[in-house]
Structure 1
Amino acid sequence: MSNSENPPQDPISKVESNKDLRITLIGTGTIGLSFAAFHLSHLLGPSQLTIYDTRADVAQHVEENLPPFFAEKPSQASISNIRIAPSLEAALKDAHIVQESGPENLDFKRKLWAEVEKHAPENALLWSSTSGIPASQQAQDMKEKSRVLVVHPYNPPHIMPLLELVPSRDTSEEVIERTCEFWTKRGRVPVHIKKETRGFVANRLAFALLREAIHLVNEGVVSVGEIDSIVESSMGPRWAVAGPFKSYYVGGGPAGLEGFFDNIGGTVQDCWDDSGKLNVGDGWETKIFKQTKETYGSVDVGERDRITRRLLDVLDQEKSYTTRSSAN
């Protein structure tokens, strides 16, 4: 039940004109801060971003670590307008959206959502940024299991367009539709994943490539740096334009995907049969971790974000040009 006598009406269906949207973020790790940067960049008028975290220095932590997530230097006014909630109950009061980016721990999330349900308005959207814990497991201790929806971002979420919407069997269609509308209106790409599956979809695809990359390096076929050069100068740019199905559909010429498999289906099958069989903890880690650190040194998140943002800007411009050309 709501802790407010008059629960707020859903403003999300009126995104374009709404200027009083109240979003609560739970957790100030990398993903939580990335979402904070995104929401701050899109809130209108007197809309409010509230942050709750159990860490004692949360206000200082946000002030020191949030600015790097912005493409340009954020105004101190925008950051100072963030409301740091003293308690979970205070953070949830009158919220339209509650988005958690807490630890990847099922017990934590089960307890959190059961508590959120007691204090959040009945109409509030409840989102989890988990990388792999299904909504059905997170909502086990809730009275109304239809409210929780996994909204899984692709890191970093303040830049990457994808949001995987992964409902449980209990999640209501209304929650999915409202969530999809929210992100679409903000220029993101929400994709409704129809069935709960371990790791969802984007990570499963990425991890399959990572497994084969580790296998090839571990077997001495190629180095860490060479693997990355191969991806960055071939499939990386291609996949930014077209996914695997469209890429190989075009690669098959007039006959499409069937033509592609007619031509090199045997090679494809041989590669699948010979794919790397790996288990985390088998001993490859020492070699791979050492070589990766020697190749790249210290982690440079800024470079990744800067180049990714420019690439996405170019893709948006080209897609807009294509759309206009098709209309004429």
Structure 2
Amino acid sequence: MPDPSQKDTETRITLIGTGTIGLSFAAFHLTHLDSPSQLTIYDTRTDVAEYVQNSLPNFFTGEDKASLPSVSGIKIAKSLEEAVANASIVQESGPENAPFKLNLWAEVEKHAPKDALLWSSTSGIPASQQNCKMQDTSRVLVVHPYNPPHIMPLLELVPSPETAEEVIERTQDFWRARGRVPIHIKKETTGFVANRLAFALLREAVHLVNQGVVSVEELDQVVQTSMGPRWAVAGPFKSYHAGGGPAGLEGFFKNIGGTVQDCWVDSGTPNVGDGWEEKMFKEAKEAYGTVDVGERDRITRRVLQVIEEERSKGGNTK
């Protein structure tokens, strides 16, 4: 496997959109390119150069900030045509708006190199709804990050039925070479995979708080002191497979499958009803105020580092 610490001297990346996700990707790419000049940013906001100059350093902390390449070396394009003309990769993180993306890719296709990879960071607009105005519908691939992408390793690669296999493979190679975990999602599905799992848990969490079973803060404590640490080390299938002893997942379900089924039946399709938002929002604000995302990111980085270090000791990468 290529060394993720090795700087990339050839790839030219164009980022479209300078929201939180766009700048987070910029922070990631900036630390993996040999020169900031290999990174081009395009945004329609009039103060984009000043905004990037002031905002991008905030995505780095400690030693990373000390060794941060010169942000001023990033190219700021004045037009979409200029931005994509020589790009190896065009990565859009623009508004969650299907017409915007439809028109964007039609224009990008006109001006970008024929072999450039075209990625969308969308959280919910499938590639098959973005490529309809393109001549070659095989080019667009959803590359959905888990926020913030400059820290979190996961990238969900979600092709349309027309997306070329070569596009998927080249994208997988790119991210793996940089120490990331690209997962090929085989079918377009609402919310993809990570968000569906997270939102399923969130729905049950809202239901439990709304029913007065626990408070917002207590619910978070339950997750942080149980499944949170466990799932950071092993996902639900691996965790319960281990919980079944020598018989694995089959043993787990033989032992407590009845309880699992009872919980599933009791959950059903929870209807959290109307008017729950104000109570839930108030509890969250009282419990946490304004969350320090810097602290969150610092702890998340360290958790990921420790997991990687411990896995490396045992030669286990799964």
TM-score relative to the length of structure 2: 0.94
Q: State the partner residue of 2:138.
A: 146
* Residue of structure 2 equivalent to 1:37: 27
| Pair 17,61 (structure 1): closer, same or farther in 2 beyond 3 Å | closer
Give the C-alpha shift of residue 67 in structure 1. 1.0
Q: Is the CA contact 2:7–2:33 (under 8 Å) kept in the aligned structure 1?
A: no
Equivalent residue number for residue 193 of structure 1: 185
Question: Kindly, what percent of the aligned residue pairs are identical?
Answer: 73
CA–CA separation in structure 2 for the residues paired with 1:104 and 1:78: 30
Counterpart of 1:244 in structure 2 is 236
In structure 2, runs of 5+ residues without a counterpart are: none
Relative to structure 1, the CA distance from residue 29 to residue 278 in structure 2 (aligned partners, 3 Å threshold; closer, same or farther) is farther
The equivalent residue for 1:59 is 49
State the Cα distance separating 1:280 from its structure 2 match. 8.0
Output the amino acid matched with 1:254.
Answer: P
1:150 is displaced (CA, Å) by 0.3
From 110, 122, 140, the counterpart of 1:118: 110
1:33 corresponds to which letter in structure 2? L
Q: CA deviation at 1:196?
A: 0.6
Provide the secondary structure at the position in 1 that maps to 2:141: strand
Q: How far did residue 264 of structure 1 move? A: 1.1
Root-mean-square deviation over aligned CA pairs: 2.0
- What secondary structure, in the 3-state scheme, does the structure 1 residue paired with 2:110 have? helix
Are the aligned partners of 2:30 and 2:69 in contact in 1 as well (CA < 8 Å)? no
Determine the structure 2 residue equivalent to 1:262. Answer: 254
Does structure 2 conserve the Cα–Cα contact (< 8 Å) formed by 1:22 and 1:96?
yes
Report the Cα offset of residue 277 of structure 1. 3.9
The yes-or-no answer on 1:285 pairing with 2:243 is: no
In structure 1, which of residues 300, 313, 317 is the aligned counterpart of residue 309 of structure 2?
317
Tell me: CA distance 1:218–1:224, structure 2 relative to 1, closer, same or farther (3 Å): same
Q: Can you give the 5+ residue segments of structure 1 that lack an aligned partner in the other structure?
A: 1-11
TM-score normalised to structure 1 length = 0.91
Does 2:10 correspond to 1:20?
yes
For residues 282 and 67 of structure 1, the distance between their equivalents in structure 2, rounded to whole angstroms, comes to 42
Count of matched residue pairs: 312
Q: Specify which of 78, 81, 85 is matched with residue 77 of structure 2.
A: 85
Instruction: Report the equivalent of 2:290.
Output: 298
Between the aligned partners of 1:111 and 1:117, the Cα distance in structure 2 is: 10
CA distance in 2, matches of 1:34, 1:211: 28
> Deviations for 1:239-279, whole angstroms, at most 9, x for unmatched residues?
01100000000001111111111111111111111227456
